[in-house]
Every structure is written in C-alpha cells, then in structure tokens.
Amino acid sequence: MVQGTASHVGKSILVSALCRIFKQDGYSVAPFKAQNMSNNSHVTPDGKEIGRAQSIQAEAAGIESRVEMNPILLKPETDDSSQVVVMGKPLTSAKALDYFALKNQLWDAVCSSLDILRNEYDIVVIEGAGSPAEINLKENEIVNMRVALYSNSPVLLCGDIDRGGVFASLVGTLELLNAEEKNTIQGFIINKFRGDKSLLDDGLSWLEERTGIPVAGVINHYNDIHIPEEDSVGLEVLSSKSIENELDIVVIQLPHIANFDDFDPLAREQGVNLRYVSNIEELSEPDLIILPGSKTTISDLLWMEQQGLADCIKRLYSKGTPIIGICAGYQMLGKKLYDPSGIESDIKELEGLGLLPITTVFEHTKATKRIKAIITSDHGLLGGALSIPISGYEIHMGRTSGDIFAQPFKIQSQQEDDQTTVFSFDGAINENGDVLGTYIHGLFHNIKLRQSVLSHIAQLKNLSIVFSNERQDLDQEYDKLAEWVRTSIDMDLIYKMTGLEKIHNTQ
C-alpha cells in the first residue's frame, strides 16, 4: 500500500509506476483505492464509473479497468456535499455527516472488492487518500490505515520534498499513528526531489535512525513523462502566456471541472500552448476556447457569468474565435438548461450561452458508457474529418435535444443480445462549423480528429503546424515512468515487503 503525508504528494503516480514494474517483472497486478474523491472519472467496459486514476493504473498494469478497483467514488457537487458512487453507480448525494452514516454499507463494498482482486491477482497495489494522520477523520475513514490493517499490507509512506518540510511531515505522520498502524509502515519514499541527492544524506540517515524505518527511495521530479493528472491542482502549472508562433488554446478552469485529462493530448502537440484560465484577464484572445466537463453544470455556468467569462466568450466568438464544449461544456453552449427535479441545484431554468440551438433537461438517470463513432460532418472545426472513426466514453446526467441542428457523431452500439447493431447520434455543430459540442470524453485522444481540428485552427491563424508521426502512446509513458522509479527506489526492499521474489525483468 502507498500512503502519503498529504494530498498530491505523488501516490497515484507511484502506484502506476509500481503496477508497471510488477507487470514487467512477470506478475499479474491490479490497482485498488477504496475511496476516491474526484470529478475526474472514467467508464469501465461494462459501463461502470470509477476514478480516472484507477483506470490509468489499470492501463499501467496492462489490464482492463473494473469497478472493484475503486468501489467508492465521491464526486464533489458543493463545498459540503458530494455524489456518492458505489460499485460504479450513483447511490445518493450526501453531506459529510450523512456520508458517515453509510460507513458500514461502504466498508462491505470495500472489503468484498479488495478480496476479489487479491484472489485474482498476484499483487494488488493499494493507494491511500490524503493522509492517514487526519485526526478528525480517523474514526470514520475507510481508505487508509483501516484498509492496510484489514489486508495486512505493508505500507510505503510518501512525502513531497518539493513542498518543503518533508522530514517533519514524515515523522509527524508517524507520531499521530497508534502502535499497530505504525507497524504497517515499512518504508519511506521521498518524492519530487530536485538537485544533488548527496545533500540529503544526513537527513536520510537521521530519518532512519529516528524512526527505525528505511528510506525505500528518493524519486526525482520529472518533466518529460506524460501521465494524466488526477487532481485539478495539477493544472496550476498550465497557465503560461501564449507564444506568438504557437496555437493558443484555452480551457476554462471551472470550479467543478471534470475529466480534464481530455486535453492532455493537445498539450503534448508541438506548436500548441494549452492554458487553463479562470478569469477574463488570463483569457486574452486565444485561437480556441474549450468549455470542459463539470460535475455541476448550472453552478459553474453561473460562476462563468459572475466572473464575466460568459460575456467575454460570446464577444470573442463574435470576433471569430472557435469554441468547443465537452459534456457540461456542450450543455452550456445551448439556449436553455432545465432542472425541474432539482438534480443539480434549486435553479429550475437557466439561460445558456446561446451558441448552439439545443436545450438540456437534467434527469435522474446517469449515462455511463464507452462509445465508438464515425464523424458525419465535414466543415469548420471538423473540416477534413468526415468518416474518421473515433472512440471515447460518456458520463453525464442530462438529455440534450434541439429542433433542427447537425449532429456530427454517429455512434454504433450493440444491443444486449450482442447481435444487433444500432445507431444513434451525438453532439451539435453550427452552420459555420466554428462551434462544436459533444458528450464524448476522450475526443482529442483520437489522433486524426485532433490533428484535423488543430489544422483548421492553424489555417485561421495563418500558421503552419507540423505533427509528429509518433503516436502519443501512453504505454510508452508507463514504461518511462517505471524506469524512472525503478532506478530511484530499492526494489529488493519492495519485494521483501511483498514476500515475493522477482520472476524476471522484461526490460
């Protein structure tokens, strides 16, 4: 198990690395996180919803994601309430105190899921959440030490030296654990180090002498390995100014932004400057504006209006800036949003941006499915993309319709008998082709579509853009990550913790 001294210290990435390392060494391995709090989610092959981080970790392990890898997913809706997704399906929306009342039911789901994975795989790499030393939460926690003790898992405690105070964080965490909990911790990881490691020698020796626990590794900070971020705090680094000879693409950083890894492939294209902005001063005059997914469409649209972003986006559109909306962003682009049953908020009706001739009605049923589609449009942002096959997934509450509008994505799906193919249509594109909306997440992970959209924007700016012939292959990134971590930690110590031996190294 990997636990941390705080959130965003690198637990998710370390679990991904260990999953890939164990896979390379010949073991079957699966990730697990009992409870995840994130609006960055993903759809399993059977249409269940789990945290995106566990989906990424499953890819690193070379297996399909499944709901047992993340039985409890909390999707924040307001500052004090979240949608509670249990075994891949929404159960309720709850405030903290109401959530604690569900603990026994949720713990049963945690235990049964973990038992299933441990029975099917050689190794399960478990991720904790936040810190195990949150005194106010310990009585009701079902994700950190309670999981470690249930599964009798050795724990690596990870600290982020880039934040400062890493030794105090590691020792302080230990001091707030009881004796049984302390005994689970069998190694420290110091993450995100920059500089000469020899400068740490005295500190590492002191730490081991002070605690009696070995330092399993010091992992250097990296910049050239591209693994999707789990937390929106990771977007803070993507706010640089636009560069004259690059395509300047802006994603509106909504308060409840969801599935922001949709845009990672854009950031990795040469000649593209991707920025996340939250005010009109940062917005400037980009070459493309993207409205991303959100857990709470109505409140985030109201926030955009309060920030002046809604009017600014419409003004930029009138001057020729193209706009793409994904999921909630698609809903915002329409004329009206209706919430008669109070699914999202107490607001029953709200004006949209009015850039697409569509309306959205929020319903209790949540759509979660993987999709394959064909592009049926051939103008504007989709010029040259006709008949390109794409894949992605949908996660949304809401039904969108319109009187007369072009739907550019023809979705192919199988009936339950798995023999009958049915077709449906998704999305909307306006007559000029400069406003595009869709429910499909993962749109820009489709290479031909991504490059077609970027080529269109480059033409509008009179720029030439050269695309790499290399596929942006996450599998290669997992191998790079595994090598980076493998050379930084004591894998012999890690294997000693597991009670297993290295079978072979395929690298």
Listed in order, strand segments (DSSP E) in 352-408 are 359-375, 389-401
78: Cα within 13 Å, side-chain hemisphere = 12
Given a contact cutoff of 8 angstroms between Cβ atoms, the answer to whether 167 and 200 are in contact is no
The two three-digit tokens of residue 196, written as one number:
């000469």
Cβ atoms within 10 A of the Cβ of 185, count?
Answer: 22
Alpha-carbon span 489 to 82, nearest angstrom: 37
Active site annotation includes 19: no
Side chain identity at residue 277, one-letter code: V
Catalytic residue among 312, 327, 379, 456: 327
Given a contact cutoff of 8 angstroms between Cβ atoms, the answer to whether 158 and 130 are in contact is no
The two three-digit tokens of residue 124, written as one number:
């399960």
Measuring CA to CA, how many Å separate 475 from each of 69, 264, 270, 388, 493? 20, 15, 20, 23, 26
Given a contact cutoff of 8 angstroms between Cβ atoms, the answer to whether 214 and 157 are in contact is no
Measured between its terminal Cα atoms, the distance across the chain in Å is 24
Alpha-carbon span 147 to 135, nearest angstrom: 16
Query: Dihedral sign, CA of 58, 258, 470, 446?
Result: positive
Q: At what angle do helices 52-61 and 474-486 cross, to 10 degrees?
A: 80
Catalytic residue among 42, 379, 396, 441: 441
Alpha-carbon span 476 to 144, nearest angstrom: 31
Which position has the token pair 């809903």? 331
Q: Find the length of the chain.
A: 507
Question: Which 8-state DSSP code applies to residue 7?
Answer: T
Of 185, 439, 162, 202, the residue nearest 328 (C-alpha): 439
Active site annotation includes 327: yes
Report, as residue numbers or ranges, the catalytic residues: 327, 441
